[in-house]
Amino acid sequence: MFKKKIRIVTRNSPLALKQTHYVTKKLNKLYPKLEIEIIPIITKGDVLIKNKIKYGKDLFIKELEIALLENKADIAIHSVKDIPNNFSKELSIINICKRVNALDALISNKYNCIKNLPKNAKIGTSSIRRKFQLIMYRPDLKIIPIRGNVETRIKKLDSGKYDGIILAVAGLNRLGIQNRIREIIKKKILLPPCGQGAIGIQTRINDTFILFLISNLNHRLTKIRIIAERAFCKKLGVNCNIPVGIYANFKNKNLKLKGLVGSPDGRYIIQGTRKGPLFLAEYMGKSLATELLDKGGKKILKKYINKIISK
């Protein structure tokens, strides 16, 4: 391959940069003569992190998309869980890297699992999805908001403000601080959000050279899982900052999908599953979402979304 320069835009956070270096390493292995420039950007989401629930997680990727549309970068690296259902038709996310552990983890200096936490233990998380599932499992827990990047949250834990905090296993592993994990929480207790643990590569849909260049980074089976999960969320009309959990995996060469919708107070939860051939991934996601909406999920989501809008 002839020498070519490629520009990669990313959020300027430790985790985002780790993910970008992961992709860069893959590209360098495929194309040793490829010159790569990394362009870090501080997004509005990073500045307005306290309001991410109100404004949506697309704030974390908007500036990255603008850089692509204005041809200031060739590809953008995202955590798939941060990618909204709808984005510019001039862009595509055709390539998804191989997914790592999608589950959540308990980080604690005193306790080794959720089950062994003392009554009224203080757990730090600002995720509505995590909150309602934890309350369903342990109604006595005190869920306290916590903001900041992974390192900032761990510092707050170490200061004694919390008995434990909940973080994604994937992020901890990528940052090399997996030793802080006390328990990887089973999905029957805490179902992950759409796309957690996967890295998405976004580029202009008409840039055939870049599309060809990154095509070998796509992991087919991961993409099938993500297609199902994103179809589920799109049918519900939600992104990952809403009380929804979804997880797709493989069993006996079939795709198995589990999803749920819950009220933020943990009083109501509606869940269901699907199992079928891989080529029906998108259909299964939509079908499961329709089932949960019909069972009461529509009412729960409407009430929650209206509450957020009114703030």
pLDDT digits (tens, 9 = 90+) for 16-60: 999 999 999 999 999 999 999 999 998 655 444 444 444 445 666
| Pair 44, 75: CB distance under 8 Å | no
Label residues 55-74 b or e (16+ Cβ within 10 Å = b): ebbbbbbbbbbebbeeeebb
CA 258 – CA 261 distance, rounded (Å): 11
pLDDT in tens, 1-12: 455 899 999 999
CA 224 – CA 270 distance, rounded (Å): 24
Positive/negative CA dihedral, 237, 288, 60, 23: negative
- pLDDT > 70: what percent of the chain? 90
Helices (H), the chain: 14-30, 44-47, 52-55, 62-69, 128-137, 150-158, 169-174, 208-214, 220-236, 281-292, 298-310
Q: What's the pLDDT score for residue 119?
A: 97
Residue type at 308 in one-letter notation: I
pLDDT in tens, 132-145: 999 999 999 999 99
- The average pLDDT across 152-171 equals 97
Concatenated DSSP letters of 4-53: -EEEEEEESSHHHHHHHHHHHHHHHHH-TT-EEEEEEE--HHHHTGGGHH
CA 145 – CA 129 distance, rounded (Å): 13
Q: Does 3.90.380.10 match the CATH number of domain 5-98+198-218? A: no
Length of the chain: 311
The residues, any chain, with a CB within 8 Å of residue 219's CB and separated by 6 or more, are 96, 97, 98, 99
Q: Does 3.40.190.10 match the CATH number of domain 232-310? A: no
- pLDDT > 90: what percent of the chain? 79
pLDDT in tens, 269-303: 999 999 999 999 999 999 999 999 999 999 998 88
Determine which one of 82, 104, 163, 207 is catalytic: 82
**CATH fold match for the domains 5-98+198-218 and 104-184:** yes
For domain 104-184, give the CATH number.
3.40.190.10
Q: Is 104 a catalytic residue?
A: no
Q: What's the pLDDT score for residue 55?
A: 43
Question: For the chain, which residues make up each domain, given as ranges?
Answer: 5-98+198-218, 104-184, 232-310
CA 226 – CA 249 distance, rounded (Å): 10
Nearest 5°: the CA angle 53, 19, 227 is: 65
Q: What's the pLDDT score for residue 44?
A: 59
Q: Is the pLDDT of residue 160 over 70?
A: yes
